[in-house]
Amino acid sequence: MKGDAWILKRKVLFIVFLVFIQLWVSAGSLACSSFAVFGEEVIYGSNLDWYPPAQARLSIHPGKNDISFFTLEYEMNRVFRRTMGMNSEGLMASLQTVPSGEELLDSGKQRIKASELVNLFISSLRGSRKIYISELFDWALANASRVEEVKEYLQENQLIQVPGFNLHIHIVDQYGNGIIVEIEDKGTVVLSNRDNFSLMTNFYNNRYTLGNEPCPRYRIINEIILDRIDGFSTSDGWDTLKASRQATTRVSMLYFPREGKVHISFNGDFSRIWGIDLERKELVEKVRFEEQKSFPLDSRGILSSELGVSFDQLISSGDSYFLQEERARPFIGEYNYPGREKAAVLYQEGMLFLQLPGLPPILLVPQEENVFQLDLMFSEVEFWEINGKITGFSLHHPSGKRNAPRLGD
Chain segment 132-151, per-residue pLDDT in tens: 898 999 999 999 999 999 99
Q: Out of 16-20, 141-145, 258-262, 328-332, which region has the weakest mean confidence (pLDDT)?
A: 16-20
Name which residue leads in pLDDT, 312 or 3.
Answer: 312
| Residue 100: pLDDT over 70 | no
* CA 61/CA 71 separation, integer angstroms: 8
pLDDT for res 151: 96
pLDDT for res 367: 81
* CA 244/CA 223 separation, integer angstroms: 11
Q: What is the mean pLDDT of residues 96-119?
A: 53
User: How confident is the prediction for the chain on average, in pLDDT?
Assistant: 81
Cα 77 → chain centroid: 15
The order of strands in the sheet holding 33-38 is 197-200, 33-38, 42-49, 249-256, 261-266, 272-277, 282-287, 290-296
* CA 132/CA 82 separation, integer angstroms: 14
Let me know: does 161 contact 153? Beta carbons within 8 Å.
Answer: no
The pTM score is 0.76
pLDDT for res 186: 81
Name which residue leads in pLDDT, 278 or 75.
Answer: 278
| Residue 276: pLDDT over 90 | yes
Question: What's the pLDDT band for 297 if we cut at 50, 70, 90?
Answer: very high
Which tens digit of pLDDT belongs to each residue from 185-231? 788 999 999 889 999 988 888 876 544 455 778 889 999 999 999 99
